[in-house]
Amino acid sequence: GIHTLILQIMLNTPKYTWGIQDIAKARALRVLVNELEDPDFAVILQPRGGLDYFSSNLERARAQLASVTMLMDDIEPDNPASPQIIHVVSYSEGVRLADPEVVEESVRITRYALTEYRRLKKKGDMPEYGKSEMVEARTQNLLKEARRMIKFIEATIPNAYSPIGFYSMLKSGVFPLPWLIACKDEFEAAVNQPVQFLHGGVHVVDREGKPLSVSQRLFGIAKNLEEMGFLPSISGYADSSRQVSGSGGGQKEHLGEEH
């Protein structure tokens, strides 16, 4: 089986995402996936910048590359060996594909930004953004919401961690995909979820534009699963809902069998 997972996390996606949200998202995902680690399975973090993030102004794009490198360092600020791998997106991507010279310069910018950022933080000349209370609060909220959704999925979708299970998640609207280009009719439940950009992040919202929690979304997802034949009735969802009210991370035991 698989013994090493390279966990690639794309930052700056959408490109208007606040740094606080990006750090929290990456950190929450890192925590969840790290729970799968054991003596035979390791997870290696590999953050990267978002392609859509880079400006067509190459000087600005160079600065953006340095900026996203600093974000990467704040995912695990107390670990000098993190990130273990950096996927360097060349600064020219907003205009054209990179040539060898641009690739080399992009690597130099990334290395310098990481070294200088750490030096400034050590001297106290740079705020410790990765240790802010806002980042920690957002991270904990994302973890709580993600674990609730994971427990619901495991309780309602047979063979959740399989191709058909993943298809069922897409079909039932587990993942809101309002910008999906292909297969819109097939994944209508995912496409038709309204989202808004709030507080630097993307949120599913109700008709009044108020953000919906995972708990509020579960009933609609359960209804879709019932129509797909995965739930006997909405009353079955009520039983699952009681099971997912906790905050545990049951995915480790299930996924751990399929490294």
Question: What is the C-alpha separation between 95 and 203, in angstroms, rounded?
Answer: 30
CA–CA distances in Å: residue 130 to residues 44, 74, 165: 19, 4, 35
CA–CA distances in Å: residue 140 to residues 11, 97, 146, 157: 19, 38, 10, 25
Question: What is the C-alpha separation between 20 and 219, in angstroms, rounded?
Answer: 30
Which own/partner pairs from 75-80 qualify as long-range (CB within 8 Å, at least 24 positions apart)? Answer: 75/9, 75/23, 75/26, 75/27, 75/30, 75/45, 75/47, 75/130, 76/27, 76/30, 76/45, 76/130, 77/121, 77/128, 77/130, 77/131, 80/118
| Nearest one of 176, 186, 165 to 216, comparing CA atoms | 176
Note whether 152 and 244 are within 8 A (CB): yes
- Domains of the chain, by residue range, sit at 4-131, 147-258
Per-residue pLDDT at 152: 95
Per-residue pLDDT at 234: 46
- Three-state DSSP state, 178: coil
Tokens 């054209």 sit on residue: 96
Question: What is the C-alpha separation between 26 and 125, in angstroms, rounded?
Answer: 25
Tokens 């039932």 sit on residue: 172
pTM, entire model: 0.84
The DSSP element (H or E) to which 256 belongs, if any, is: none
Per-residue pLDDT at 253: 38
Per-residue pLDDT at 228: 86
CB atoms within 10 A of CB 83: 22
Question: What is the C-alpha separation between 91 and 197, in angstroms, rounded?
Answer: 26
pLDDT means over runs of 10, the chain (259 residues)? 96 93 97 96 97 95 98 96 97 95 98 98 93 95 97 93 95 94 94 93 93 94 89 52 46 38
Per-residue pLDDT at 239: 53
